[in-house]
Amino acid sequence: MTAVRMGQGVEWALHVLLTLAWLGDDEPVTVAKLAAGHDLPSAYLNKQLQALARAGIVESTPGARGGFRLSRPASSITLMDVVAAIEGTQDAFRCTEIRQQGVGADLPRRTFDAPCAISASMRRAELAWRRELASQTIADIRAEVDVYSPEAKRVTRRAYGL
């Protein structure tokens, strides 16, 4: 069984998207500035931003005044969108039908006509997880942070020269 485990790229992407949501549409922000703002390596963060751009979550503006900005409202970017962009869309659990091996190998074939109960249970749990991620947006996170850390937006905007 594979555990649902996400790499740091998802966390980094979510923090950067929150930053971009606070900064608004003023100017695109360079990878170097975003990386410095979170004390992250630019090259790795750039890979995450490129994945977000391919998914239509951010847009990239080339050139000396280029950088990244949200390509759509924060209210339409779900956590599932971000996870899928960074981690891919492959199922976390993959049933290999081990019930048909070992002691199960001697059972009649009709025993396996019904779906594997373990696989079905894991699939239901994964779908619930995906639905929960799809129900939350970057705007929801921004609103929560604004309530519990109201100074975070002001400090972030000041750090980026706004």
Mean of the pLDDT values across residues 39-49?
93
Burial 29-40 (b: 16+ CB within 10 A, else e): bbbebbbeeeeb
Domain assignment present for residue 55? The answer is yes
Which residues make beta-bridge pairs with 137?
78
pTM: 0.85
In this structure, what CATH number is given to the domain that contains residue 112? Answer: 1.10.10.10
- Angle ∠(66,71,77) on CA atoms, nearest 5: 140
Q: Which domain holds residue 57?
A: 8-159
143 or 91: which carries more pLDDT confidence?
143
Mean of the pLDDT values across residues 23-41?
90
Domain assignment present for residue 3? The answer is no
Percent of the chain with pLDDT over 70: 97
Radius of gyration of the chain (CA): 21
Domain assignment present for residue 142? The answer is yes
User: Residue 14's closest CA among 34, 29, 30?
Assistant: 34
Domain assignment present for residue 1? The answer is no
Kindly report, residue by residue over 137-147, the tens digit of the pLDDT: 999 999 999 99
What is the tally of structural domains in the chain?
A: 1
